[in-house]
Chains A and B, each alone.
Chain A
Amino acid sequence: MTLRKYLVLLAVVVFGSIGDAFLARGMKTAGSIDVHHLTHVFTALASPWIIIGIFCLLAFMSSYMTALSFADLTFVLPATAIGYVFMALLSRFWLHEHVSPQRWAGIVLITVGVGIVAGGPSRTEHPSKIDPSAEVSANAAGDRP
């Protein structure tokens, strides 16, 4: 894993968290959607909070796709879960919210989970990905008396 790849994972974390927060803010101002009028969800798209949230999620999407191009899904998802920890730490030290012991336990579990997956390989190598020409020449070399 190079620095560039860690920065891509960081972008996934940052844009995903900020995007979700903007969407939540927008939906609170848009009000509750009636079950029988689900199409009213489209009117919420006019909210500036929702628009900013969508732009953040587009940035999230492009960094997420880049991350999936060099790492497994089961590596990227737990590795980017560190975003929940950042959110909780921000709420404690920046917004001065109370963080309960249960929440600290959650933060520790997520950090341990991220540490476990980050210590392993980021990509599963499939046999089909191995260069066939190299394999043929290796076999040919093995066949020689």
Chain B
Amino acid sequence: MRNLYTWLCIFTTVCAAAAGDVLIALAMRRIGDLGEFRHKHGFLAVIARVLSSGALFGGIFFMAMAFFSNLIGLSWADLSLMGPASAALTFVTNALGAKFFLHENVDRRRWFATIFVCCGVLLLTRS
């Protein structure tokens, strides 16, 4: 039964982390390069600009959900299972989210990179 709960936690972590990543990436894309923005307008203007983004707060909400789900999962399972399993699955869901919601150019090169990293993380877990 604990195994089921652990995988439920991994599933929740993956979905919430992907939603959080996509929303935060959307917010940061709308804001633009923070380094350039800081050079032009100063550090306080960067903070004000970042905190005025609604998508960012949505992203942080989902990241917090992923954080607590991960924390609960860590109390049941080892980091060596929770960490890589959720990370490997998050790579794939994020690539899909980036392609369909952020309209990023997820070309063959990025799919290969995602699959290589995903397989590598799984090999690290299973050994």
Q: What is the CB-to-nearest-CB distance from A126 to chain B, in angstroms, rounded to a whole number?
A: 7
Which chain A residues in 42-89 approach chain B with CB under 8 Å?
A: 44, 57, 61, 64-66, 68-70, 72-75, 77-78, 81, 84, 88
Query: Main SS of the interface on chain B?
Result: helix
Q: Which A residues lie within 8 Å of B71 (CB)? A: 23, 27, 41, 44
Q: Is the pair A105, B123 in contact by a Cβ cutoff of 8 Å?
A: yes
Given contacts A66-B35, A69-B33, A73-B94, contact A103 B127 (CB under 8 A): yes
A137 within 8 A of partner (CB)? no
Given contacts A27-B74, A69-B28, A69-B31, contact A103 B124 (CB under 8 A): yes
Query: Main SS of the interface on chain A?
Result: helix
Q: Is the pair A70, B109 in contact by a Cβ cutoff of 8 Å?
A: no
Q: Is the pair B120, A106 in contact by a Cβ cutoff of 8 Å?
A: yes
Q: CA separation between A108 and B99, bound complex, in Å?
A: 26
Binary per-residue interface labels of chain A (26-37) against chain B in the complex, 1 for a CB within 8 Å, 0 otherwise? 010011110100
Q: How many chain A residues have a CB neighbour from B under 8 Å? A: 51
A90 within 8 A of partner (CB)? no
Which residues of B pack against A, CB within 8 Å?
5, 21-22, 24-25, 28-29, 31-35, 37, 50, 56, 63, 67-68, 70-72, 74-76, 79, 83-84, 87, 90-91, 94-95, 97-99, 102-107, 109-110, 112-117, 119-124, 126-127
Q: What is the CB-to-nearest-CB distance from B54 to chain A, in angstroms, rounded to a whole number?
A: 15
Q: Is the pair A107, B124 in contact by a Cβ cutoff of 8 Å?
A: yes
Q: CA separation between A120 and B105, bound complex, in Å?
A: 11
A–B pairs, 12, beta carbons within 8 Å: A21-B79, A24-B74, A65-B56, A69-B35, A70-B33, A73-B104, A77-B90, A106-B127, A109-B120, A113-B115, A114-B117, A120-B110
Q: Is the pair A84, B121 in contact by a Cβ cutoff of 8 Å?
A: yes
Q: What is the CB-to-nearest-CB distance from B66 to chain A, in angstroms, rounded to a whole number?
A: 11
Q: Is the pair B117, A109 in contact by a Cβ cutoff of 8 Å?
A: yes
Of chain A, the residue at the smallest CB distance from B110 is A74
Q: What is the CB-to-nearest-CB distance from B78 to chain A, in angstroms, rounded to a whole number?
A: 8
Of chain A, the residue at the smallest CB distance from B74 is A27
A119 within 8 A of partner (CB)? yes
| Shortest beta-carbon contacts, A-B, top 4 | A106-B123, A113-B116, A109-B120, A110-B120
Of chain B, the residue at the smallest CB distance from A27 is B74
Q: Is the pair A69, B34 in contact by a Cβ cutoff of 8 Å?
A: yes
Of chain A, the residue at the smallest CB distance from B75 is A33
A139 within 8 A of partner (CB)? no
